[in-house]
Amino acid sequence: MSKPSLIYIADPMCSWCWGFSVAMGELRKHVAGKIAIQLVMGGLRTGNSQPMDENLRNYVLGHWVNVHQASGQPFNFAFKMAKDFVYDTEFACRAIKTADHMAPSQGSEAALNILENIQRDFYEFNRDVTKLDVLQKAAENCGLDGTKFSDLFSSNPIKQSCQEDFVRARKLTATGFPTLVGEKNGQFTTLAPGYTSPDKLLAVVDSWMGFELKR
C-alpha cells in the first residue's frame, strides 16, 4: 500500500493560484512530514506569441481585483508591462521544473518555493517573469545556483519535463487552476477544484485523510 500524496496543479501566472498560495502555505505546514506534496505545472497560457492588447489587459486586471478581494493577496494594479509583453506562461512553468530538477532531495520544496517567488515578482512587483534574468534571480533568491539554473532552464530535458506536466494536468482532469488532488491507494480525489480558503482547505484534507492532522 503506497503512502498518500497531494498533487497541486498550478500555473505561476494564474492569479487565482497566487490567491491560493496563502492556503497552500498553511497546508504545507499542516502536512509537513506526514504527506508529500507534488507540484504539477498546468500550462495556463503556453505557446502564445501575440502581445497583450487592452482587452486582455483589462480582463486580467479584472481577475486580479477579484483575487485580491477574495484572498487579500497583494497586487500591483498598475500592471506596467511593456506594450510588447506576451502573456506566455511556459517560461515561468519551466523555471519551476528547473528548480525541481536542481534539488531532487528536497521533494517539491524547491519548486514550491520558487513558485511563490515568481508569483510575488509578477503580481506584487510587476516584474516580467517571461524573462530569463528575472527567473534566474528568483532561483538565486531560493538558494539555487544561478548559472546552473540558466544552463538547465534552456535544456531539452527540462522543456520536455514541462510538456509532460501539462499532459499530466489534463489527465488529472484539472479544468482550471489551482487544483488540488489527493492520491490514496491508486485512487484520485479532487480536493480543491479552484480557489479555497485556508481553513476550508485544511478541513477538506483532514476529512480525506480520515483523521485530524495535528495543527
Query: Is 66 within a domain?
Result: yes
Q: How much is the mean pLDDT over the chain?
A: 93
Inter-axis angle of helices 132-141 and 109-119, nearest 10 = 130
Q: Which residue range is the domain that position 40 belongs to?
A: 5-209
Over 60: is that where the pLDDT of 34 sits?
yes
Rounded Cα gap, residues 172 and 153, in angstroms: 25
Residue with grid cell 483523521, as numbered in its chain: 211
pLDDT value at position 47? 85
> In the chain, how many domains are there?
1
pLDDT value at position 175? 79
Query: Is 178 within a domain?
Result: yes
**Cβ within 8 Å of residue 99, ≥6 positions away:** 110, 111, 113, 114, 139, 142, 144, 149
pLDDT tens-digit series, residues 70-91: 999 999 998 888 889 999 999 9
Q: Per-residue confidence at 211, pLDDT binned at 50, 70, 90?
A: low
Query: Is 215 within a domain?
Result: no
pLDDT value at position 10? 97
Rounded to two decimals, the pTM is 0.94
- CATH number (domain holding residue 88): 3.40.30.10
* Residue percentage of the chain with pLDDT more than 70: 97
Task: Specify the higher pLDDT residue, 215 or 89.
Answer: 89
Q: Per-residue confidence at 106, pLDDT binned at 50, 70, 90?
A: confident
Query: Is 181 within a domain?
Result: yes
Query: Is 16 within a domain?
Result: yes
Query: Is 214 within a domain?
Result: no
Rounded Cα gap, residues 71 and 159, in angstroms: 32
Among 19-28, 166-175, 190-199, name the one with the lowest average pLDDT. Answer: 166-175
Over 90: is that where the pLDDT of 15 sits?
yes
Query: Is 97 within a domain?
Result: yes
SS3 110: helix
Over 50: is that where the pLDDT of 182 sits?
yes
pLDDT value at position 65? 97
Cβ–Cβ < 8 Å for 129, 91: yes
Over 50: is that where the pLDDT of 214 sits?
no
Query: Is 151 within a domain?
Result: yes
DSSP structural state of residue 191: E
pLDDT value at position 1? 58
pLDDT value at position 215? 44
User: Which long-range contacts link 153-160 to residues 24+ away (Cβ below 8 Å)?
Assistant: 153/94, 153/95, 153/98, 157/101, 158/94, 158/97, 158/98, 158/101, 159/94
